[in-house]
Amino acid sequence: MFTLPWRRTRSTGSGRIAPGGLPLPEGAGRVECQVMDPVGVPMQAAVTVLDRTGQAVTEGSTDAYGLFTAAVPPGDYQLSVLCEGFRPHRAPVQVFPDTTASVGVVQLATAPLPPVPGPGRWEIDPDHSAVRFVARHIGLAEIHGRFNRFSGSLWIAERMRDSQVEVYIEADSIDTGVRMRDDHLRSADFLDAAVHPYLRFSGGDFVHRGGSRWSVTGVLELHGVARTVKLDTQYLGLGTGMAGETRAACKAVTELHREDFTLTWQKMLAHGIAAIGATIRVELDIQVVQAAQSDGASAST
């Protein structure tokens, strides 16, 4: 983590042009920075300009290039930069009228890695886990659903990146709360559960993104089609269950495009809009238990 030393409060020029090309207010100055990750990739982060008392003067987010700029009254400030999975960063900056005070490049350091599950096999506890999805109905209201029956295992390797996960979801356990719709989703128009009884996810690329953030890449087999899927995962840590068993938990999300899996409903509405939207958001809440303890844990609540 560093701020370029020569740019603590560097003033650049006297042109009174504010962000977006608008003139600066009379007597105001400008503060700017660029936020990058440890390998120099621009980051989207929350940036707050604090006065001497610690009160926020202005706040915002960096853009796609990691840039932040804001017009503020002249004075001494602290620039606070926050991004999930990285250590907070503060830098002093002094702003003068009609000039730009640049903090320069702020390179964030990765936050410490929380304790991860120990090596070995871990089993998904379906009683304390959920597989949910959100889709749009005729492009309007959201449909919220879930799969009620699933199982899976996680094999933790000595090197976390080499770990493996395998999950089986029973296609006919889909549940949106409307029987007619669920029967249709099980039919050959969608999941075709009679021919493809399981959705299967198998992954083997665990990449730490900083702090509690991970990405898990694997292959999803759905409707007889296999596609690569990346799970944006938040690791929630370790805990102890009612039976004394060790548990680990995480949340994960991904976005699927149903056409990728040939889930094209042939019965279109009069205006050609599919009843189920083309994009489906999948949300996972998962708890796993060490395999040697899973039998005793199944009796706990």
Question: Using CA atoms, how far apart are residues 270 and 231, in angstroms rounded to an integer?
Answer: 36
Dihedral of CA 51/56/57/63: which sign? positive
For residue range 182-227, what is the model confidence (pLDDT) as tens digits? 998 898 878 889 999 999 999 988 998 777 889 999 999 988 889 9
pLDDT of residue 263: 54
Question: Using CA atoms, how far apart are residues 171 and 149, in angstroms rounded to an integer?
Answer: 8
Q: What is the CATH number of domain 120-297?
A: 2.40.128.110
For residue range 2-28, what is the model confidence (pLDDT) as tens digits? 333 333 344 444 445 555 567 788 899
pLDDT of residue 266: 45
C-alpha closest to that of 108 among 10, 41, 30? 41
> Exposure pattern of 35-73 as b/e (b: 16+ CB <10 Å)?
bbbeeeebbebbbbbbeeeeeebeeeebeeebebbbbbe
Beta strand pairing call for 46-50 and 75-82: antiparallel
Domain boundaries, the chain: 2-107, 120-297
Question: Using CA atoms, how far apart are residues 6 and 149, in angstroms rounded to an integer?
Answer: 59
Question: Using CA atoms, how far apart are residues 290 and 301, in angstroms rounded to an integer?
Answer: 16
pLDDT of residue 7: 38
Q: Which residues have CB under 8 Å from 187's CB, separation 6+?
A: 193
Which class for 3: exposed (0-12), middle (13-18), buried (19 or more C-beta within 10 A)?
Answer: buried
DSSP letter (8 states) at residue 41: -
- Give the pLDDT band of residue 153 (cuts 50, 70, 90): very high
Question: Using CA atoms, how far apart are residues 175 and 222, in angstroms rounded to an integer?
Answer: 17
pLDDT of residue 102: 94
Contact present, 227 and 261 (Cβ < 8 Å) = yes
Mean pLDDT of 262-283: 58
pLDDT of residue 277: 59
| Residue 299 scores a pLDDT above 50 | no
pLDDT of residue 9: 42
How far out from the chain centre does Cα 120 lie? Answer: 26
Dihedral of CA 158/162/165/166: which sign? negative
Question: Using CA atoms, how far apart are residues 128 and 214, in angstroms rounded to an integer?
Answer: 21
Would you tell me how many other CB atoms lie within 10 Å of the CB of residue 77?
25
- Give the pLDDT band of residue 169 (cuts 50, 70, 90): very high
Q: What is the CATH number of domain 2-107?
A: 2.60.40.10
For residue range 219-272, what is the model confidence (pLDDT) as tens digits? 999 888 899 999 999 999 999 888 889 999 999 999 987 666 665 544 433 334
Mean pLDDT of 84-99: 92
Contact present, 297 and 288 (Cβ < 8 Å) = no
- Pull the structure tokens for residue 22: 């608008």
